[in-house]
Chain A
Amino acid sequence: LIYFYFLLQTDLQLWIIMVRFRNRYLVMEIFLDPNKDLAKDDPIILTANNVSKAIKDSIRQNFGECGLASLIGSFQVTYVNNITKLCIIRVAREGLEKLWSSTTMVRSIGQCQVMFNLLDLSGSIRACKVAALKCDEAKSEQYKQLMGDNITPEITETMQNCLEKIKILS
């Protein structure tokens, strides 16, 4: 009985946290160098750091210091997959429009021209995980189709790691 009560308490606390902080999760794909002809090797490596830096620069340019300050508390690039060019971004519900417009207006990461495209928008991490897994798998199929026989076992291993990472996201 005590155990049951304890579980109920923790569930209640989790529910309170969930209700107080409402987030939006965006699953976006990144197109590198849309102008160039398709090159098999990537101009840059996407990491959570450079993606988030590019988005923050865009927010600062478009919405100023205060805009950046109000978004940065809840803004996080949760997951980046360099092979399939997928990323998951978390932001508070109030800042969604600003953040989304800023990412749409991002033109380059570092020296490389990029283009962001929204694939899915959800309000809970669970729905986001489901959508992201679906998108990631579809994109990795396309990647395999593109590369043909050139896939090294390292790449497949990295893909598997990334898919695992999505599954344990919270």
Chain B
Amino acid sequence: MPKRRRNDNTQSSKIEFLDLNLPYTIGESSKASATKKKTRLKIVIKAMELGYTGVAYNHSIKGAMSNSDTCAISLIPLSSIVQVAPQTLFSSVKFHRELLNVPVNSPFRQYTRLTVAVDSMIQVAALNSGNPVLKTYDLVAVKPSNQITFEQACKVAEVDIIAINFSDKLPFRMDFHNVKAAIKRGIYFEITYSHLISDINARRQMITNSKLLVEWTRGKNLIFSSAAASASELRGPYDVANLSSLLGLSMKHAKAAISKNCRSLLHDSIQKKQYYKNAIKVERIISSTKPIDSKEAWFCDGDDHISSREGDLLLDDVATKVPKISKAIDFASIAEKIASNGFPLKDWLSPSKLPKMSKEVNLASIAEAMV
């Protein structure tokens, strides 16, 4: 009991803002894909600057899945950000994070997400926990297009998010029972705000449609995200929370919808993937030099599966690699220390219980190469 309470305290003190819908498309020709990559990079840099601590790249497919749909989304490495980013990125991110009360050292996380637009019962039936394609993504979302699929998505389908396109006339009727059933099962509803900003005609439809959803959920199990096609459609976290007040949400629920709800959604979905029936996790024990404390190894800290991942961008790494014009704090000596041990800086700042298999080895080797 006391251990759980302590866990809750640490979770609530970390403020995080996550934007869980950045569209990811594959270009047909190599030139198109290069421009798309560049756009995506710019959006990610903007999100980092605005104070977000995590994004999810959303790959949309229609209808039936095939093996070619397994996750091929490349997470953006630190090197490409440093190439494009302006020199002031580090100080700008630090400035915004301090204003938003986000801990400056929290890493910027990248997740992958799949959105399946379903038309019929058969396609919905494919969205179950046995589907191997779904397992390759961190988050799975379903986009129902008629009444039957909506009901099935709420009651049966094993997904994390139900995404509905609110900017057109809704092709089905949302009713309270289905929404309630979905919330009971732990599914989150998503509202995207880029249509409010970009398209004047779509604003009206969007507000009309999403007001219903907001009234029924009252902020519970609701997340906001941008489906930003370009960097100009992104907005800062508190600005988004205020936009949701147009839809009838109170400020407290609105702020939760961009931070706490997103975080618990990620927590739940990753837990579903790693654990069998939410209780048993299978892990490979590599004989390491450190003896694993047997008690700690059995009781897993629930926070750990979000804490260290591939593709985490640490702010201090950004600072070291960007060529500095004016003098700043000398991180070079710290970077050398990191390279020799192979552990990221944040491990030294926060005591970790389980021995972490350092997946950030590639970051450390880049630091070594540059320094």
Question: Could you tell me which A residues sit within 8 Å of B by CB distance?
Answer: 31, 34-35, 37-38, 61-62, 97, 100-101, 104-105, 107, 113, 115-120, 135, 138-139, 141-146, 148
Knowing A97-B242, A97-B245, A146-B88, the reply to whether A35 touches B235 (Cβ < 8 A) is: no
Which chain A residues lie closer than 8 Å to B91 at the CB level?
138, 141-142, 145
Excluding A34-B234, A104-B239, A115-B235, 20 further A-B contacts by CB distance (< 8 Å) are A35-B42, A35-B231, A35-B232, A38-B86, A97-B242, A97-B245, A97-B246, A100-B239, A101-B243, A101-B245, A104-B235, A105-B197, A107-B232, A115-B234, A118-B236, A118-B238, A142-B88, A143-B88, A145-B91, A146-B87
Nearest CB in chain B: distance from A61 CB, A: 7
Partner of B197, one of A100, A107, A117, A148: A107
Which chain A residues lie closer than 8 Å to B326 at the CB level?
144-145, 148
Which chain A residues lie closer than 8 Å to B200 at the CB level?
61
CB pair B99 A105 closer than 8 Å: no
Question: Looking across the interface, which residue of chain A has its beta carbon closest to that of B203?
Answer: A62
What is the total number of residues of chain B having a CB less than 8 Å from a CB of chain A?
31
Which chain A residues lie closer than 8 Å to B95 at the CB level?
135, 138-139, 142
Is B196 interfacial (CB-CB < 8 Å)? yes
CB pair A148 B239 closer than 8 Å: no
Question: Looking across the interface, which residue of chain A has its beta carbon closest to that of B95?
Answer: A138
Which chain A residues lie closer than 8 Å to B232 at the CB level?
34-35, 107, 113, 115
B196, B200, B231, most chain A CB atoms within 10 A: B231
Nearest CB in chain B: distance from A94 CB, A: 13
CB pair A117 B235 closer than 8 Å: yes
Please provide the 8 A-B residue pairs with the shortest distance between their CB atoms, ordered closest to farther: A34-B231, A142-B88, A117-B236, A104-B239, A148-B325, A34-B232, A38-B86, A100-B242
Nearest CB in chain B: distance from A106 CB, A: 9
CB pair A142 B92 closer than 8 Å: yes
Which chain B residues lie closer than 8 Å to A144 at the CB level?
326
A-B contact pairs, 23 of them (CB 8 A): A31-B46, A62-B203, A97-B245, A100-B239, A101-B246, A104-B242, A105-B196, A105-B243, A115-B232, A115-B234, A115-B235, A117-B235, A118-B238, A119-B99, A135-B95, A135-B99, A138-B91, A138-B95, A139-B95, A141-B91, A142-B92, A142-B95, A148-B326
Is B198 interfacial (CB-CB < 8 Å)? yes
A115 to B46, CA, bound (A): 11
CB pair A104 B197 closer than 8 Å: yes
Question: Looking across the interface, which residue of chain B has its beta carbon closest to that of A121?
Answer: B238
Partner of A116, one of B46, B84, B239: B239
Which chain A residues lie closer than 8 Å to B42 at the CB level?
34-35
Which chain A residues lie closer than 8 Å to B87 at the CB level?
145-146
Q: Mark B225-260, 1 if CB is under 8 A from A, else 0.
A: 000001110111011101101100000000000000
CB pair A107 B86 closer than 8 Å: no
Which chain B residues lie closer than 8 Å to A143 at the CB level?
88
Is B55 interfacial (CB-CB < 8 Å)? no
Is B50 interfacial (CB-CB < 8 Å)? yes
Nearest CB in chain A: distance from B201 CB, A: 12
CB pair B239 A117 closer than 8 Å: yes
Question: Looking across the interface, which residue of chain B has its beta carbon closest to that of A27?
Answer: B99
Question: Looking across the interface, which residue of chain B has its beta carbon closest to that of A62?
Answer: B203
Nearest CB in chain A: distance from B22 CB, A: 14
Nearest CB in chain B: distance from A101 CB, A: 6
Question: Looking across the interface, which residue of chain A has its beta carbon closest to that of B89?
Answer: A142
A46 to B223, CA, bound (A): 35
Which chain B residues lie closer than 8 Å to A148 at the CB level?
325-326
A146 to B240, CA, bound (A): 29
Which chain B residues lie closer than 8 Å to A107 at the CB level?
197-198, 232
Q: Which of B79-115 contact A (CB under 8 A)?
A: 84, 86-88, 91-92, 95, 99
Which chain A residues lie closer than 8 Å to B230 at the CB level?
34-35
A139 to B42, CA, bound (A): 20
A117 to B239, CA, bound (A): 7
Question: Looking across the interface, which residue of chain A has its beta carbon closest to that of B200?
Answer: A61
Which chain A residues lie closer than 8 Å to B99 at the CB level?
119-120, 135
A22 to B230, CA, bound (A): 38
Q: Which of B26-67 contact A (CB under 8 A)?
A: 42, 46, 50
Q: Mark B317-336, 1 if CB is under 8 A from A, else 0.
A: 00000000110000000000
A33 to B91, CA, bound (A): 20
A105 to B239, CA, bound (A): 10
Nearest CB in chain A: distance from B82 CB, A: 14
A141 to B87, CA, bound (A): 12
Nearest CB in chain B: distance from A98 CB, A: 9
A119 to B50, CA, bound (A): 10
A138 to B196, CA, bound (A): 31
Nearest CB in chain B: distance from A159 CB, A: 16
